[in-house]
Structure 1
Amino acid sequence: MKIVVVSDTHMPRMNKKLPERLIRELVNADEIIHAGDWTNLAVYEELAKYTTTHGVAGNNDGEDIIKQFGYRKVLKFEGYRIGIVHGHGAVKRKATESHAIDTFKGVRLDALVYGHSHIPVLKRIGGLLVFNPGSPTDKRRQSLYSFGILRVEEGLLSAKHVFYSDKT
């Protein structure tokens, strides 16, 4: 199973369309996860053309997106429990990751997907896979744009980033 993971698209302000590099992965995705800051429901509609799209709202999303997705979600794929949250609300920006983790305190998860910082993260904390895909359209101080791919193959959950320099 291939799950394409995005966050912080900030469309249409940061880009008028999904980047071609992202589209190449979407065409054969089994599922899509968006970790917030869509900023427009049209982003959901575009992603949903490819496959089932799940997500949460971020701090730059309007009431329509908040109502449709909420701020926190636990998804289950082939027995793996994946928590999704945007990660905003921390007192300090550097605390985004710990704030995202604390959001699911007491909840059994195999992986946590969050966004907000636009900083790609892939690590394990104990048995928890912690993943921030970065942003496919707004790299901020990062050298490259990015999104992620989660895979469940042969009973194992893995993640990787896809980095690229051109968001068109």
Structure 2
Amino acid sequence: MKVVVVSDTHMPRMAKKLPERLVEALKTADVILHAGDWTDASVAEMLGKYAPVHGICGNNDGPELVRLFGLRRIVKLDGIRIGIVHGHGQGKREDTETRAFRSFEPGEVDVIVFGHSHIPLHKHRDGVLLFNPGSPTDRRRSTHYAFGIFTIHEGSLTAQHVKYLHK
């Protein structure tokens, strides 16, 4: 199973359309995860043309999107429990990873997908994979635009980032 992981699309302000590099990956996706800051419901519609979308809202999403997606969720894919949260809240932006990690109880999930910082991250913490896909449209302090791909096979998940310089 191929899962495309995105966050912080900030559309249409940061891009009028999905970047081509992302579209190429979406064409073969089985599932799409979005970790918030869509900023417009049209992004969900764009992504939904490729595969089922599971997502949550971030600090830049309005009440309509919050009603559609909520702020936190757990998705189970081929036996893997994936928690999705944006990671925003009190404290500095550097605390995003810790806020995301603390959004789920110990043992509740195998993977936590989050966004907010726009900086790609792939690391393990107390047996949980923490994965921030970065942003495909707004790299901010990151060196590249980015999104993620999870490959799930027989209850095992591998994760990678796809990084690029031009939208």
Smaller-chain TM-score bracket: over 0.9
Shift, 1:103, TM fit: 0.8
Q: Secondary structure at the match of 1:12?
A: coil
Q: Deviations over 1:91-136 (max 9, x none)?
A: 1111000001111124521100000000100011132111000000
> TM-score scaled to structure 1, two decimals?
0.97
4+ runs deviating over 2 angstroms: none
Q: Which runs of 5+ in 1 are unaligned?
A: none
Mapped partners of 1:155, 1:5: distance in 2: 18
1:140 maps to what in 2? Answer: 140
1:8-19 equivalences in 2 (<5 Å): 8-19=8-19
Task: Identify the residue that residue 32 of structure 1 maps to in structure 2.
Answer: 32
Deviates most, 151-160 or 89-98: 151-160
Where 2:47 maps in the other structure, the secondary structure is: helix
Match of 2:41 in 1: 41
- SS of the residue corresponding to residue 3 of structure 1 reads strand
In structure 2, stretches of 5+ residues that fail to align are: none
Contact 2:9 2:138 in 1 (8 A): yes
Worse-superposed segment, 86-95 or 24-33: 86-95
Q: What are the Cα deviations for residues 31-75 of structure 1, in whole angstroms up to 9, with x where unaligned? A: 000000000000000000001001000000011100000000000
Contact 2:122 2:129 in 1 (8 A): yes
Counterpart of 2:5? 5
Task: Map 1:26-105 onto structure 2 (within 5 A).
Answer: 26-105=26-105
* 2:78–2:154 Cα contact (<8 Å) kept: no
Tell me how many residue pairs correspond in the alignment: 167
Give the letter aligned to residue 55 of structure 1: G
Amino acid at match of 2:149: I
**Equivalent position of 1:158 in the other structure:** 158
Residue 119 of structure 1 aligns with which residue?
119
Q: Any conservation in 2 of the 1:90–1:96 contact (CA below 8 Å)?
A: no
Paired with 1:136 and 1:36, the residues of 2 have a C-alpha distance of 13
TM-score (norm 2): 0.97
